[in-house]
Amino acid sequence: MAHLFSLLPQLLLPWYRQHRRDLPWRKDKEPYHVWLSEIMLQQTRVEAVKGYYTRFLERLPTIADLAQADEETLYKLWEGLGYYSRVRNLHKAAVQIMERHGGTFPQDPKDIRALSGIGDYTAGAVGSICFDLPTPAVDGNVLRVCSRLTSDPSPIDQPAVKKALTEELAAIYPKESGDFTQALMELGATVCVPNGAPLCHQCPLNNICLAHKEDKETQFPVKAKKKPRVIQEMTVLLLHDGDIFALRKRPKTGLLAGLWEFPHLDGKYSIAQILEYLEQQGITVSDVEKTIEKVHIFTHKEWHMTGVFLSCQKGGPYTWSVPSDYALPTAFRIFLES
């Protein structure tokens, strides 16, 4: 397969220069900008990231500003983007850059990789795009393109497959490292697409692609079988006194750590059980208004939630406020959109 990979730079670079999308984070090669965009783009669509990226940099224009930001500011800037450990790690890494590197983003791949929240993929992306290092950034897009190109049935979610591909690509990296990294990603995002048939007629690799020659594009990539998600039932208490709602802070560790939430009970509760529970919390309900069912899906878990809107007077062990003033994860915010 080395021969196929060696053809990639000459085929992909001219195509990328002609077809690259104009994205906010491609306006310069400032490491802070590239790093932030790569973290935001993990598990998140480009269109969804654009607004968040711009707002984040307007509020925190430098690594020093990010290092000094408080938790509430960070969560508010990230609200709705999900996977909140990403913003906690961004903050930790900014502090590390201030302490270890005097506020300048490091150039040595080992130093980049040592920062919180930066794995092989992000280190490869920042290293190649910002510093022209021959460091591949192998994500799902790149794995898909290469598995189709070489008609390779190895499961792409196995770490050994990713490692082997990273080494093979590093061996053929051209001096235009940043453009090459982005060309591979761009091809996977816009042409060799994940869902449905790839757009092979537009692809600069269609003369050499083995899956295309064999008419087997959609049989690749191969993935190992996933474990089913754990299903968790919960009863969400939407206690409100006019426009203000009862809120509480989640624990400092675990899923959605440190964010705000509506109070909830594990399991499914009847209205009578809910009223009894609230009485114990010192809350008297004046009206049971409506019940709404919602499902929120995380990577390994599904929350099957029954939200109960209850009119009451503020009190009990909660913080009472307008929810928009707090960073409320999407899993809870969806009830307010009802």
Q: Give the H/E segment covering residue 115.
A: none
Q: Does residue 212 bind ligand SF4 (CB under 6 A)?
A: yes
Q: Does residue 203 bind ligand SF4 (CB under 6 A)?
A: yes
Among 60, 145, 156, 283, binds ligand SF4 (CB under 6 A): 145
User: DSSP per residue over 146-213, as a string?
Assistant: HHHHTT--S-TTSHHHHHHHHHHHHTT--S-HHHHHHHHHHHHHHTS-SSS---GGG-TTTTT-HHHH
Contact window for ligand SF4 (CB under 6 A) among 132-140, 207-215, 251-259, 304-312: 207-215
Nearer to ligand SF4, 141 or 235 (CB): 141
- Strands 264-266 and 230-241, by their bridges, are antiparallel
Nearer to ligand SF4, 115 or 145 (CB): 145
Q: Which of 166, 146, 178, 219 is nearest to 34 (CA)?
A: 178
- Whether residue 221 is preceded by a cis peptide bond, meaning omega within 30 degrees of 0, is yes
Cβ proximity of 4 and 149 under 8 Å: yes
Q: Does residue 246 bind ligand SF4 (CB under 6 A)?
A: no
Contact window for ligand SF4 (CB under 6 A) among 110-118, 151-159, 208-216, 281-289: 208-216
* Residue 297 bridge partners (DSSP): 302
Among 8, 112, 126, 211, binds ligand SF4 (CB under 6 A): 211
Determine the Cα–Cα distance for residues 237 and 310; give it in Å rounded to an integer. 7
Q: Does residue 205 bind ligand SF4 (CB under 6 A)?
A: yes
Among 206, 232, 281, 311, binds ligand SF4 (CB under 6 A): 206
Pattern of binders to ligand SF4 over 151-190, x per CB under 6 A?
Answer: ----------------------------------------
| Count of positions on this chain that bind ligand SF4 (CB under 6 A) | 14
Nearer to ligand SF4, 198 or 258 (CB): 198
Q: Which of 200, 172, 206 is nearest to 1 (CA)?
A: 172
Contact window for ligand SF4 (CB under 6 A) among 98-106, 192-200, 249-257, 325-333: 192-200
Determine the Cα–Cα distance for residues 190 and 199; give it in Å rounded to an integer. 8
Place of tokens 């783009």: 41
27: helix, strand or coil: coil
Q: Smallest distance, Å, CB 142 to ligand SF4?
A: 11
Catalytic residue chosen out of the listed positions 38, 79, 186, 217: 38
Give, as ranges, the residues between 39 and 58 that touch ligand SF4 (CB under 6 A): none
Query: Is 72 one of the annotated active-site residues of the chain?
Result: no
Cβ proximity of 109 and 133 under 8 Å: yes
Q: Count CB neighbours of 201 within 10 A.
A: 8
Cβ proximity of 288 and 271 under 8 Å: yes
Which segments of 61-200 are extended strands (E)?
Answer: none
Contact window for ligand SF4 (CB under 6 A) among 6-14, 34-42, 96-104, 145-153: 145-153
CA 133 to chain centre: 25
CA 194, 198, 204 angle in degrees (round to 5)? 120
168: helix, strand or coil: helix
Tokens of 51: 């607004």
Q: Does residue 86 bind ligand SF4 (CB under 6 A)?
A: no
Contact window for ligand SF4 (CB under 6 A) among 25-33, 200-208, 235-243, 314-322: 200-208
Q: Does residue 64 bind ligand SF4 (CB under 6 A)?
A: no
Q: Does residue 198 bind ligand SF4 (CB under 6 A)?
A: yes
Among 192, 237, 278, 285, binds ligand SF4 (CB under 6 A): 192
Q: Does residue 73 bind ligand SF4 (CB under 6 A)?
A: no
Q: Does residue 67 bind ligand SF4 (CB under 6 A)?
A: no
Residues that bind ligand SF4 (CB under 6 A): 145, 148-149, 191-192, 198, 200, 203, 205-206, 209, 211-212, 217
Which residues form the catalytic set?
38
